[in-house]
Amino acid sequence: MLNNFESEKFESKQEKEKNPKLMFVFDVDGIITNPDTKKPNEKVIEHISSDLKQGFPVALATGRSVAWVEEKIMPTLKTMLKDDRKLDFLLISGEKGSVSVEYVDGEPVKKIDKNNCNASQNCNRSKKDYSALP
C-alpha cells in the first residue's frame, strides 16, 4: 500500500514490539465497513492485508465488540492473507479500548481491561462472546 515506507516494515513481531516506527490505525465503522450497510469494504480490507503481508503493524479500532469484528471482518482478511501468521502484526481494540485481541503465531490472544470498563459498556458480554470463538 505504501511502498515509500519500505524501510519501516518489520521482519518479525519481536522486531515490531521493540521498534514500532510506524503503525496504521483504522476505525472499523465507516472506514472498513460501509456506514449504511455495515458490510465490510473489501478494497479497504485488501489494503490492510497488503500492509500486514509487508510486515506493517495495523490496528483496528471500534466501539463494537471484538467478537463482531472477528465475525464480520476477519474471515475476509484471513482469506486475503493466506497466512494466519501475518496476523501477528494486527491489533484489534474493541469496546472503546476495554477489550483487545493480539495474535501470536496466528492465534488470537484476547484481553479484557476491567479497569477500563464502565457502566456504559457491557464488558461481561465480551466474555460471553469469546466463549463461542475458537
| Domains of the chain (ranges, CATH numbers) | 3-131 (3.40.50.1000)
At 81, the pLDDT band (50, 70, 90 cuts) reads very high
Write down the pTM of the prediction. 0.73
Question: In whole angstroms, how far apart are CA 80 and each of 9, 15, 49, 91?
Answer: 19, 24, 6, 17
pLDDT score of 21 = 73
Instruction: Give the pLDDT confidence of 87-104 residue by residue, as tens digits.
Output: 999 999 998 788 999 999
Helix%, strand%, coil% for the chain, nearest 5: 45, 20, 35
Higher pLDDT, 71 or 131: 71
Handedness of CA 111, 100, 115, 25 (dihedral sign): positive
Query: Average of pLDDT values for 4-12?
Result: 49
Instruction: Give the pLDDT confidence of 27-76 residue by residue, as tens digits.
Output: 999 899 988 888 999 999 999 999 999 999 999 999 889 999 999 999 99
| Cβ neighbours, 10 Å, residue 50 | 14
Higher pLDDT, 90 or 112: 90
Window from 59-63, 72-76, 77-81, 121-125 with minimum mean pLDDT = 121-125
